[in-house]
Amino acid sequence: MPNPDRPEFLRTWGFWAVLTGAMALLLVFAQIVGPTFETKPSIGTQIGEIAGDIKRSAWRSLIGLPQPEPEAVSPPIWSYVALAAPIFGIVAIVLSVVSGVLRENWHYSVYGTGLGVAAIVFHFFWWMALLVAGVILLVTIIENIGDIFSF
pLDDT at 147: 67
Residue-by-residue pLDDT tens, the chain, 151 positions: 566 676 766 678 888 899 999 999 999 999 888 887 777 777 777 777 777 777 777 778 778 778 778 788 787 888 888 889 999 999 999 999 999 888 888 888 899 999 999 999 999 999 999 999 989 988 887 777 666 656 5
- Residue 38, CB half-sphere, CA atoms under 13 Å: how many? 11
Q: Report the pLDDT value the prediction gives residue 120, as an integer from 0 to 100.
A: 93
Give the 3-state secondary structure of the chain.
CCCCCCCHHHHCHHHHHHHHHHHHHHHHHHHHHHHHHCCCCCHHHHHHHHHHHHHHHHHHHHHCCCCCCCCCCCCCHHHHHHHHHHHHHHHHHHHHHHHHHCCCCHHHHHHHHHHHHHHHHHHHHHHHHHHHHHHHHHHHHHHCHHHHHCC
Name the pTM for this structure. 0.69
Contact criterion met (CB below 8 Å) for 31 and 124: no
Q: Considering the domain boundaries, does residue 49 fall inside one?
A: no
Distance between CA atoms of residues 14 and 101, nearest Å: 10
pLDDT at residue 2 in the model: 61
Please indicate, yes or no, if residue 19 is contained in any of the structural domains.
yes
Q: How many domains does the chain have?
A: 1
Q: Is residue 61 part of a domain?
A: no
Tell me, rounded to whole angstroms, the distance of Cα 97 from its chain centroid: 26
| pLDDT value, residue 146 | 67
Could you tell me if residue 137 is inside a domain? yes
The CA-to-CA distance between both ends of the chain, in Å, stands at: 83
Give me Rg for the CA atoms of the chain.
Answer: 24
Q: Is residue 1 part of a domain?
A: no
Question: What gap in Å lies between CA 53 and CA 73, rounded to an integer?
Answer: 17
Q: Does any domain span residue 95? A: yes
- Which domain, by its residues, includes 34? 8-41+77-149
